[in-house]
Chains A and B, each alone.
Chain A
Amino acid sequence: MREHRSKMSRRSFLKISAGTVALTGVGLPKRAAAREKGQLATLIDLSLCDGCAALETPACVFACKTINQDKIPEPVDPIPEPWPRKTIEDWSKKQHVSDRLTPYNFIYVHKALVVDSGRERIVYVPRRCMHCDNPACATICPFSANNKRPNGAVVIDQGLCFGGAKCKDVCPWEIPQRQSGVGIYLHVLPGFMGNGVMYKCDLCVDRLKEGKTPGCIEACPRQAMLIGPRREIEKIAEERARAMNGFIYGKNENGGTSTFYVSPVSFELINETIQKKPGQPDMKTDVPRRMAKTDKFGDAVLAAPVLGIAAAGALGWYARRKEQAKKEEKDND
């Protein structure tokens, strides 16, 4: 199983890196990437994206919708009412919505009207899951339905997810979106536990396995997005940012992500244009990885067995010696 998986991803990764070479015209040393054990990253170049202004739906959004249109099974009817809080989130009748994240829409394009050094300009910002380096959404999932793959993709297994939305609560951008009335919770205790399945971008892991690139990247007519070996993508992002005297988003946010936005306009300015709403995340710079602060406590937990055993060894040895001394005293009587 693993053998199989890693073989597949190596192959796809080589193809991808070849694709990157073709797209960027930059020669990439393939070995460097192999050392990264197949870790991928993506780049979104806001200087290239024009929001597909001429199209009704941006190409990336359309491609993504098309690829994933049959992913979610038909929700049961009626959807069981959860107890006691009766929230039901049903997007199945609004699958067409494409201007925010929904269970049926994993990417959307934000239009930012910014005034940059006195000059008005429009920046289009495709938004989706950042595939963070240490994603709380995955590590903290109580069922491990959400999981970070060795290639860096953060993937929710819709067969294991109960739809409790914990991942959404701990994601700084509240990316995962819930569809009620589908999933494993229906077969357990639907009224009391779980409430559907969470959906979000999965970096097209299945396509990656087949050696293809993610749908949005393939579809973009302006080649505003790239995917490739992590280190290379990071390098390209830095080069491009330097060249346009611009900015990078995603490198430090939430403790680091595998999505690098490059923009000629600062992300503070872009963020000011965003009215944070459900399914429409803001773009605050340097959002911390909140769990990072718990790491010291976790380190203490990992050290606890050693400390406990050491204390027992010391105290046990002392107690035995005392007992022995007592015994000898008695024998000498």
Chain B
Amino acid sequence: MTEKILADENRVVRHSGLELAEHWAIAVSGIILLLTGIFELPVAKRYYIVTIPGLGWTADFITSLYLHYAAAFVFTAVAMFHLVYHGILGEKGLMPRKGDFSASIAVIKSFIGLGKEPPMHKYLPEQRLAYAGMALIILMLIVSGLVKTYKNIYAPDLSWTVVLWATWIHNIGFILFFLAFGAHMAAILLKPNWPMVRGIFTGKVRLDYARHRHALWIADLEQDQPTLGTDSPQQTKANEAPPPENPGDQASADRAKETPVNGQNAPRSEVSDVSGDPETPADRPGE
């Protein structure tokens, strides 16, 4: 686990170096794919993009194809790596959970001053939904892109039905990716999310921010770092509590199952589940 509270620095480690590398490899190659994909459409001449100094190459579809392939190599390899690697480690913090839809509406409402944000885990409910959506779009693009690539090299007379499906899945995926990317950038522009931007570059976010906004996550971490954690009364409460009441919180439940019950470890996850009750945000540890 790389996540760690650094109380002295008022920071908490949010992402490992590997996770940062994955995000940026996907982001950079994804943006290159988006641009070179656009230049695979006959737009450069029509929209006078070719006349912009330095963009003369955009009219040449073969040049764009080199770049599209090069970026697709990184994009595809890293996406597959991501799925399998975090799958093996059972890291599911970004998987959507039950109740994410209504919770994300509550969060969005709070942005415009309607009500308070519910207490949150490491990721906002909308981040988990965005992740699932992005993953689906990326898989669409990769699978259809692989078919198109195979056709270009090995089977120019591949069944027209297959080619049409691949092409249109790719084109629709392109539009969805464009929209999702726009939404992602819009989310970053929202002030409450700003502290996370530091995180995606350095891996660390401000501890006071995290305590305030990702209370459930910090509670989890504090149990893992007993020297830092306030010895919360809830821990005992949680110890007595039956296994997770909240069926939505699969990740915690899974973790609880994996960890040998040796007094220290097991109930910790439940703490967050119990205090996950939106009615009682105030009496969580650290607040």
Binding site for B on A (CB under 8 A): 2, 82, 84-85, 133-136, 138-144, 147-150, 152, 164-166, 169-170, 195, 290-291, 293-295, 297-302, 304-305, 307-309, 311-313, 315-317, 319-320, 331
A134 to B74, CA, bound (A): 26
Do the beta carbons of A295 and B48 come within 8 Å of each other?
no
A148-B156, A308-B79 in contact; A320/B89 too (CB < 8 A)?
yes
A165-B42, A302-B149, A308-B80 in contact; A142/B171 too (CB < 8 A)?
yes
Do the beta carbons of B150 and A308 come within 8 Å of each other?
no
Chain B residues near A142: list those with CB within 8 A.
40-42, 167, 171
Do the beta carbons of A294 and B84 come within 8 Å of each other?
no
B94 at the A interface (CB under 8 A)? no
Q: Which of B89, B153, B171 contacts A298 (CB 8 A)?
A: B153
Do the beta carbons of B167 and A85 come within 8 Å of each other?
no
A311 to B22, CA, bound (A): 13
Do the beta carbons of B66 and A294 come within 8 Å of each other?
yes
B61 at the A interface (CB under 8 A)? yes
B78 at the A interface (CB under 8 A)? yes
B76 at the A interface (CB under 8 A)? yes
A319 to B89, CA, bound (A): 8
**B167 (CB) vs chain A CBs: closest residue:** A144
Do the beta carbons of B42 and A139 come within 8 Å of each other?
no
B134 at the A interface (CB under 8 A)? no
Q: Which of B42, B85, B168 contacts A166 (CB 8 A)?
A: B42
Interface string of B79-121 (1 = CB under 8 A from A): 1111111011100000000000000000000000000000000
Interface residues of B in 161-205 (CB under 8 A from A): 161, 163-164, 166-168, 171
Do the beta carbons of A308 and B149 come within 8 Å of each other?
no
Interface residues of B in 16-73 (CB under 8 A from A): 18, 40-42, 45-48, 59, 61-62, 65-66, 69-70, 72-73
A291 to B42, CA, bound (A): 17
Binding site for A on B (CB under 8 A): 18, 40-42, 45-48, 59, 61-62, 65-66, 69-70, 72-74, 76-85, 87-89, 142, 145-146, 149-153, 156-157, 159-161, 163-164, 166-168, 171, 260, 262
Do the beta carbons of B61 and A147 come within 8 Å of each other?
no
The secondary structure that dominates the B interface is helix
Do the beta carbons of B65 and A291 come within 8 Å of each other?
yes
A139 to B62, CA, bound (A): 12
**Most chain A beta-carbon contacts within 10 A, residue among B41, B46, B66, B74:** B46
Show 6 residue pairs from A and B whose CB-CB distance is below 8 angstroms, ordered by the A residue.
A144-B160, A148-B157, A305-B80, A308-B76, A308-B84, A312-B83
Chain A residues near B145: list those with CB within 8 A.
301
A297 to B76, CA, bound (A): 13
Chain A residues near B88: list those with CB within 8 A.
312-313, 316-317, 319-320
**B79 (CB) vs chain A CBs: closest residue:** A308
Do the beta carbons of B61 and A140 come within 8 Å of each other?
yes
A312 to B86, CA, bound (A): 8
Do the beta carbons of B81 and A308 come within 8 Å of each other?
yes
Do the beta carbons of B84 and A309 come within 8 Å of each other?
yes
Do the beta carbons of A134 and B156 come within 8 Å of each other?
yes
A148-B156, A164-B41, A300-B69 in contact; A291/B62 too (CB < 8 A)?
yes
Do the beta carbons of B157 and A150 come within 8 Å of each other?
yes
A298 to B70, CA, bound (A): 8
A149 to B161, CA, bound (A): 11
A67 to B260, CA, bound (A): 80
A171 to B78, CA, bound (A): 34
In the assembled complex, the CB of A173 is this many whole angstroms from the nearest CB of chain B, namely: 16
A295 to B107, CA, bound (A): 48
Chain A residues near B66: list those with CB within 8 A.
294, 297
Chain A residues near B62: list those with CB within 8 A.
136, 170, 290-291, 293-294
Q: Which of A140, A165, A307, A319 contacts B65 (CB 8 A)?
A: A140
Q: Which of A135, A169, A290, A304 contacts B73 (CB 8 A)?
A: A304
Chain B residues near A166: list those with CB within 8 A.
41-42, 61
